[in-house]
Amino acid sequence: MLEFTHRKSTSLTDFIEFWEESGFQKSVAFSGKSDAIRVLTIHKAKGLEFPVVILPFCNWNLTWIKNKPLLWCQPERDPFNKLDIVPVYFTSRLSQTDFRKEYFEELLKQYVDNLNLMYVAFTRAKEALYCFSESSEKDGLSTISALLGLIITNEKAHHWFGKYFDPSEQTFHFGELPHDRKRNEPAENTLLVKNQYHVTDARNHISLAFKDKIMIEPVTGKIKRPVSEGRLMHEIFSRLYYADDIQAVLKAMVIEGRITHTEAEILEPALQKMFADTLVKSWFSGDWEILTETEFILQGGIIKRPDRVLVKNDRAIVIDFKFGREIEDSHRRQINSYRNLLINMGYRNVEAWLWYIALEKIIQIPVNT
């Protein structure tokens, strides 16, 4: 967090967006000299070593029978051998079937895999190993904890392990723990904690950034320039069904952490001004059936997704919102493809419009342009 605020921004909204997009994948730099505990899976710990290792759940299954994985077998006896390969559930019942050979081969592989896993877990510690296993009264050898219990309590192994096992406490203690000692060397990556942290007042800036997506002039309230294709504004417009929804949509986005209260207060009058236009107001009225960001699937699996489509009887209006400052021919081709799609769907009278938000221009696209 300190690195983010130092390099990028002190905005809570910016940090939430960063965390959702990529921040959750970041890892904290760790040094072996740091006074801390690392939490790792056994697989991740392979090849590493640590002064002290704690195994809190040393009770995993020796086999995967409970999960009933599929086992692919080649039948050898009639009439089953007419099938080249057969999927069967890996359960203990296979030991009494024609697939017992495949069953015991797979069982052996699973035993070896889990014993190797135990070996990796038990050989990571340099000075001390703490292991916690369940005590079971049931007969059988289905878990690592049952295997450990059998080894420690077995009569044949008593002369090896008996003197280290306390039956009353159910503990096995072997060797001597190292003396508690403090490291004299300074820890690497020492965390610096500051009681005071300077925060810049964003209101003193020339412009106010919305989640690195749009910029709005604080004096005029107009959109200054789009960033990252105006995704934030595009999301706001996709949520607006009616002109009266502006306040509710902005409030919802504040609650979701998408924008701040201050940003919503600046953005609301700017949107109200845009929607005061008579033509725009008619697009966001209750006179039409409204489709926003609706997917139309064409032959060949091609998907078209117009920003806003209004339909009523045999009439339709298709509108595309543009947040850049360039009017491009590709925009006309795109909106015309939407128009043709609606015509093919049976709408006789179809209007096509491009609304350039930042340029404050609304352009109707004639047919065949």
Q: What is the CATH number of the domain that holds 314?
A: 3.40.1350
What is the sign of the dihedral through the CA atoms of 169, 174, 180 and 184? negative
Same-domain pairing of 269 and 322: no
Distance CA 87, CA 310 (A): 52
Same-domain pairing of 251 and 297: no
| Domain boundary residue, one of 276, 302, 329 | 276
Distance CA 144, CA 150 (A): 10
Same-domain pairing of 206 and 253: yes
Q: State residue 225's pLDDT score.
A: 42
Domain count, the chain: 3
Q: Can you tell me the mean pLDDT for 298-308?
A: 78
Q: Is residue 331 part of a domain?
A: yes
Helix axes 144-153 and 100-122, enclosed angle (nearest 10): 70
The DSSP code for 123 is T
Same-domain pairing of 307 and 265: no
> Could you read off the pLDDT of 185-201 as tens digits, one per residue?
555 555 555 556 555 55
Q: Is residue 30 part of a domain?
A: no
Same-domain pairing of 247 and 330: no
Same-domain pairing of 47 and 168: yes
Band (pLDDT 50/70/90 cuts) for residue 77 is confident
- Does 222 or 89 have the greater pLDDT score? 89
Same-domain pairing of 317 and 340: yes
| Domain boundary residue, one of 242, 276, 310 | 276
CATH code (residue 263): 3.30.390
Q: State residue 206's pLDDT score.
A: 44
- The encoded tokens of residue 46 equal 């392979």
Q: Which domain covers residue 156, as residue numbers?
A: 42-172
Lowest mean pLDDT among 78-82, 142-146, 358-362: 78-82
Same-domain pairing of 91 and 56: yes
Q: Is residue 25 part of a domain?
A: no
Q: Can you tell me the mean pLDDT for 241-269?
A: 87
Same-domain pairing of 134 and 79: yes
Residue 263 has pLDDT above 60, yes or no: yes
Contact 60, 117 (CB under 8 A): yes
Q: State residue 279's pLDDT score.
A: 92
- Does 157 or 164 have the greater pLDDT score? 164
Q: Which of 176, 191, 178 is nearest to 35 (CA)?
A: 191
Q: Is residue 62 part of a domain?
A: yes
- Does 301 or 347 have the greater pLDDT score? 347
Q: Is residue 32 part of a domain?
A: no
Same-domain pairing of 342 and 314: yes
3-state DSSP helix/strand/coil % of the chain, to nearest 5: 40, 20, 45
Most confident of 204-208, 230-234, 354-358: 354-358
Q: Is residue 138 part of a domain?
A: yes
- The encoded tokens of residue 104 equal 């015991």
Q: Can you tell me the mean pLDDT for 125-132?
A: 91
Mean pLDDT, all residues of the chain: 79
Q: Is residue 304 part of a domain?
A: yes
Band (pLDDT 50/70/90 cuts) for residue 19 is confident
Band (pLDDT 50/70/90 cuts) for residue 128 is very high
Q: State residue 165's pLDDT score.
A: 83
Contact 64, 53 (CB under 8 A): no
Distance CA 294, CA 20 (A): 25
Residue 32 has pLDDT above 70, yes or no: no
Residue 40 CB-half CA count within 13 A:
19
- Does 275 or 30 have the greater pLDDT score? 275
Same-domain pairing of 52 and 144: yes
Residue 7 has pLDDT above 70, yes or no: no
Q: Which of 152, 153, 165, 131 is nearest to 58 (CA)?
A: 131
